[in-house]
Amino acid sequence: MALVNEHFLKLPNNYLFADISKKVNAFKVQHPTAGVISLGIGDVTRPLCPAVVEAIHKAADEMGTEGGFHGYGPEQGYAFLREAIVKNDFLPRGIHLDPSEIFVNDGAKSDTGNIQELVRWDNSIGVTDPIYPVYIDSNVMIGRAGVVNDGRWSNVVYMPCTAGNGFVPQLPDRRVDIIYLCYPNNPTGTVLSKDELRKWVNYALRNDTLIFFDAAYEAYIQNPDIPHSIYEIKGARKVAIEFHSYSKTAGFTGVRCGYTVVPKEVTAATLEGERISLHKLWYRRQCTKFNGASYISQRAAEATYTPEGREQVRQTIGYYMENARLMRNALTALGLRVYGGEDAPYLWVQTPDGEGSWRFFEQMLYNAHVVCTPGVGFGPSGEGYVRLTAFGDRDSCLEALDRIGRWLG
Ligand SMILES: *Cc1c(COP(=O)(O)O)cnc(C)c1O
């Protein structure tokens, strides 16, 4: 008899977005002509930019020739892409990485979920709250999160991010083995200043803590003082692993490509106190369980670094950020308290009069025919907020704002 991994049974089986779509579908059945607009989606909508499309065509043509066919590639990704990453994403910020410290993957979700395999099951973890659910759920699956009580896991330290603390998480009052940070943040759309991020790196250096830093939205940063990478902070190379993705940067959610930075200096200890390089372990892990992102995806990713590619990517991000600006202005004018949306494609809106997230979600659906995401779905501190995304097209974004205005105005 095969015994199931019972940790999976602890996972909440009502997945947030499935719950939302059930409620939206129920509404649509009753109101078939309402023309519901979603400001809840976490997926991009603009087409791939021409430089990327051209690179995909070219790579596909190559693959159809005897000389240009590519089978299995190098485990860590092709050198052309890893070199372009080092040169474009890090060197201009004064960060010196070796291409061998880059691991190209099929998107950041896999690695942000898998990275925890490198550390023992009984490490403690700390997360900002609210949070991207992958970090906790991937730890639940192997039993590291403990038991759940009232939406909180016993072996997880929650660091609340709310309007009360300006969405700046407080350092934990005890030592935590592993900390997950995501900046710019999904779901709150807020960022950390260099000084704030430095506090985390220093905490990690002092406490021998490992930081998993998710930079999936770094391309959306507009303020020149906000760090794009944790390696902009001195000492971070010793304590941090960083995740990047072309998904939100360049619309690759359906193409699939990203990368993880594992500096050679990052280590974790054995029980005997010996320090083990996580770079070595991750390399070993990837060689065993991963056969690389496709040649075509990697050529597509490379194209985002050409002058045309960079400009085109910048324009698409500008389009979304203009949506965000319009949304911020319109919602603020209606008297709502709106956070984020300045260096990230997400707006985090406080519900009026302390209403519950789900109740406000339903009111917006029934009164304005607009879908948002209830903040409590991202963690206990998300209660009393909803998330709106700027990933829609301009016209539906404006129409949604108009409807919300008629409802609340
Ligand atoms: C979208 C997103 C990712 C990227 O996922 P991919 O697998 O690269 O598509 C990673 N982290 C966060 C927080 C995200 O929202």
Q: Specify whether 298 is located in the same domain as 333.
A: no
Q: Give me the sign of the Cα torsion angle 245, 247, 253, 255.
A: negative
Residue-wise burial string across 51-81, b where 16 or more C-beta atoms lie within 10 A, e elsewhere:
bbebbbeebeeeeeeeeeeeeebeebbbeeb
Q: Specify whether 288 is located in the same domain as 321.
A: no
What DSSP character marks residue 173?
Answer: S
Give yes or no for residue 109 CB within 6 A of ligand 1. yes
Residue 4 counted as domain residue: no
Instruction: Give me the pLDDT at residue 41, please.
Output: 79
For residue 319, what is the domain's CATH number? 3.90.1150.10
Confirm or deny that 42 is annotated as ligand binding. yes
Residue 3 counted as domain residue: no
Nearest to 82 by CA among 280, 373, 270, 302: 302
Q: Specify whether 32 is located in the same domain as 86.
A: no
CB-based contact 260:106 (threshold 8 Å): no
Nearest to 185 by CA among 224, 221, 223: 221
Strand partners, 375: none
Q: Specify whether 115 is located in the same domain as 210.
A: yes
Query: What's the token pair of residue 204?
Result: 């990690």
Number of domains in the chain: 2
Q: Specify whether 242 is located in the same domain as 104.
A: yes
Give yes or no for residue 186 CB within 6 A of ligand 1. yes
Q: Specify whether 185 is located in the same domain as 299.
A: yes
Nearest to 300 by CA among 46, 106, 108, 103: 106
Nearest CA to ligand 1 atom 12: 216
Instruction: Give me the pLDDT at residue 18, please.
Output: 87
What DSSP character marks residue 306?
Answer: S
Q: Specify whether 275 is located in the same domain as 227.
A: yes
Instruction: Give me the pLDDT at residue 14, please.
Output: 67
Q: Specify whether 30 is located in the same domain as 115.
A: no
Confirm or deny that 72 is annotated as ligand binding. yes
Q: Specify whether 298 is located in the same domain as 392.
A: no
Range of the domain at 193: 53-307
Q: Specify whether 346 is located in the same domain as 321.
A: yes
Sorted by sequence, the CB contacts under 8 Å of residue 273 that are 6+ apart come out as none
Give yes or no for residue 257 CB within 6 A of ligand 1. no
Give yes or no for residue 258 CB within 6 A of ligand 1. yes
Q: What residues in the chain have per-residue pLDDT under 50?
A: none
Residue 1 counted as domain residue: no
Nearest to 156 by CA among 135, 126, 180: 126
Q: What would the pLDDT profile of 121-139 be if each residue is shown by its tens digit?
A: 999 999 999 999 999 999 9
Confirm or deny that 15 is annotated as ligand binding. yes
How far is the centre of ligand 1, averaged over its atoms, from the C-alpha of 132 (Å)? 9
- Residue of 44, 109, 182, 183 with the most ligand 1 atoms within 8 Å of its CB, for mutation: 109
Q: Specify whether 290 is located in the same domain as 346.
A: no
Give yes or no for residue 182 CB within 6 A of ligand 1. yes
How far is the centre of ligand 1, averaged over its atoms, from the C-alpha of 242 (Å)? 12
Give 53-116 as a DSSP string.
Answer: HHHHHHHHHHHTSTTT---S--TT--HHHHHHHIIIIIGGGT----GGGEEEES-HHHHHHHGG
For residue 115, what is the domain's CATH number? 3.40.640.10
How far is the centre of ligand 1, averaged over its atoms, from the C-alpha of 138 (Å)? 14
How far is the centre of ligand 1, averaged over its atoms, from the C-alpha of 155 (Å)? 24
Look at residue 178 and give its three-state secondary structure: strand
